[in-house]
Amino acid sequence: MDTYRIASIDGDGIGPEVMEQARKALAAAGDRFDFDLEYTHFDLGGHRYLTTGEVLPDDELTQIRSHDAILLGAVGTPDVPPGVLERGLLLRIRFEFDQYVNLRPVKLYEGVPTPIAGLTPDRCDFLVIRENTEGSYVGSGGFFRKGTPYEIATQNSINTRHGVERVILNAFERATKRNNKLTVAHKTNVMGFAGDLWWRTAQELAPQFPQVELEYVHADALCLHMINTPERYDVIVTDNLFGDIVTDLGAAIQGGLGMAASGNINPAHGTPSMFEPVHGSAPDIAGNGWANPVAAVLSAAMCMDDLGEPEAAIALEVAATSVLPQLKSMGGPDMGMSTDQIGDLIAERVAG
């Protein structure tokens, strides 16, 4: 029997509440599909920072590295200045473990109200692949003459051939396992250097994947098409910042953050990949049992798929999404069931 060692960072707010449900569902999957999960809990996030001043000590990063995967709930509390945890914890893990493929499926599930009038699940099922280690996120830039009327602030977008090529290659491979269509999104009409590198690289890789239809779209037009005609898309690959923005739009289209899951993947498997719901710590509803745990369970499903347990992944996705039509709302006080009750129901259905 396989045993998977999971580093668990429950984090703040609703993070621990939804992670508990993900672990219940995973335990049921382990019983059914014959694997074990061994968790190490890392007390990281806003609470830890406010009590000890620590964000992610080096020795804890080293301990996390020795695990098969990382599950993260959410980090952030209103009393920690913006950027401290985002850069020091989340981005540090993505960068240090070279998790260069950020998978963000946009799927409208049956029985989920979407703000897009008339949209049906058969028309909305695509995968955004966001480059996760470069672009505007690297922290390159600085101030000059700060605080003066002549102040200069630069924030550079770093795009390497190596970084762009590896993520596009991964997107091509994933497209061949789906519907053989790959869309590159950028702004070649304005960002003539980075955009050129992205689109040229995609075109140079295309002959290796003759079955995949490759197309280009400007990132602003993508936002329009995602709303009007999401059925155009199968796999979309884009840079770090465009990917961040369009996947929030994707979450809205699929009915909200309660359903949006993600995986930060290092395909080389030399370091652990990290799986997290797209939502944050939701301090406005924390502690009430009002959080929708489905995004956390779907992230756990992506984790099992990445660890080589595809049957468990499918069972987790099917069970988690089967409860959605029973909810009165997709999160909050009027959900009709508590976080814990939803978690129990999902685990029951995973068990089969």
Sites of contact with ligand IPM (CB under 6 A): 86, 90-91, 244
**Which residues, in sequence order, are CB contacts of 216 under 8 Å at separation 6+?**
183, 184, 185, 186, 188, 199, 202
* Least distance to Mn ion, CB of residue 262, Å: 9
Residue 24's closest CA among 323, 265, 325?
A: 323
In the set 102, 114, 292, 321, which binds ligand NAD (CB under 6 A)?
Answer: 292
263 interacts with, out of ligand NAD, ligand IPM, Mn ion, none, CB within 5 to 8 A per kind = none
**Which residues, in sequence order, are CB contacts of 230 under 8 Å at separation 6+?**
106, 116, 119, 123, 124, 126, 253
HSE (side-chain half, CA atoms, 13 Å) at 189: 7
Q: Is 332 in the site for ligand NAD (CB under 6 A)?
A: yes
Q: Is 111 in the site for ligand NAD (CB under 6 A)?
A: no
- Give the residue with the Cβ less far from ligand IPM, 12 or 244: 244
Residue 76's closest CA among 128, 129, 13, 24?
A: 13
Locate the DSSP E strands across 164-315.
181-186, 213-218, 235-238, 261-265, 273-277
In the set 6, 24, 35, 76, which binds ligand NAD (CB under 6 A)?
Answer: 76
Which position's Cβ is nearest ligand IPM?
A: 86
* Least distance to ligand NAD, CB of residue 285, Å: 4
- Give the residue with the Cβ less far from ligand IPM, 111 or 280: 280
- Give the residue with the Cβ less far from Mn ion, 30 or 250: 250
Amino acid at site 98: D
- Give the residue with the Cβ less far from ligand NAD, 271 or 329: 329
| Crossing angle for the helix pair 294-306 and 15-33, to the nearest 10 degrees | 50
Helix (H) or strand (E) holding 21: helix 15-33
Number of C-beta neighbours around residue 147 at 10 A: 7
Site for ligand NAD in 125-154 (CB under 6 A): none
Number of C-beta neighbours around residue 302 at 10 A: 23
HSE (side-chain half, CA atoms, 13 Å) at 123: 13
**Which residues, in sequence order, are CB contacts of 307 under 8 Å at separation 6+?**
4, 68, 69
Q: Are the beta carbons of 158 and 134 closer than 8 angstroms?
A: yes
- Give the residue with the Cβ less far from ligand IPM, 72 or 194: 72
* Least distance to Mn ion, CB of residue 279, Å: 10
In the set 28, 103, 222, 285, which binds ligand NAD (CB under 6 A)?
Answer: 285
* Least distance to ligand IPM, CB of residue 104, Å: 8
258 interacts with, out of ligand NAD, ligand IPM, Mn ion, none, CB within 5 to 8 A per kind = ligand NAD
- The Cα–Cα gap between 236 and 273 comes to 20
* Least distance to ligand IPM, CB of residue 244, Å: 5
48 interacts with, out of Mn ion, ligand NAD, ligand IPM, none, CB within 5 to 8 A per kind = none
298 interacts with, out of Mn ion, ligand IPM, ligand NAD, none, CB within 5 to 8 A per kind = none
- Give the residue with the Cβ less far from ligand NAD, 75 or 182: 75
User: Stretches 148-156, 218-226, 227-235, 290-298: which one binds ligand NAD (CB under 6 A)?
Assistant: 290-298
- DSSP strand pairing (181-186 vs 69-74): unpaired
* Least distance to ligand IPM, CB of residue 11, Å: 11
In the set 279, 299, 300, 302, which binds ligand NAD (CB under 6 A)?
Answer: 279
Positions touching ligand NAD (CB under 6 A) are 14, 18, 74-76, 86, 90, 257-258, 276, 279-285, 291-292, 295, 331-332
- Site residues for Mn ion per CB under 5 A: 244
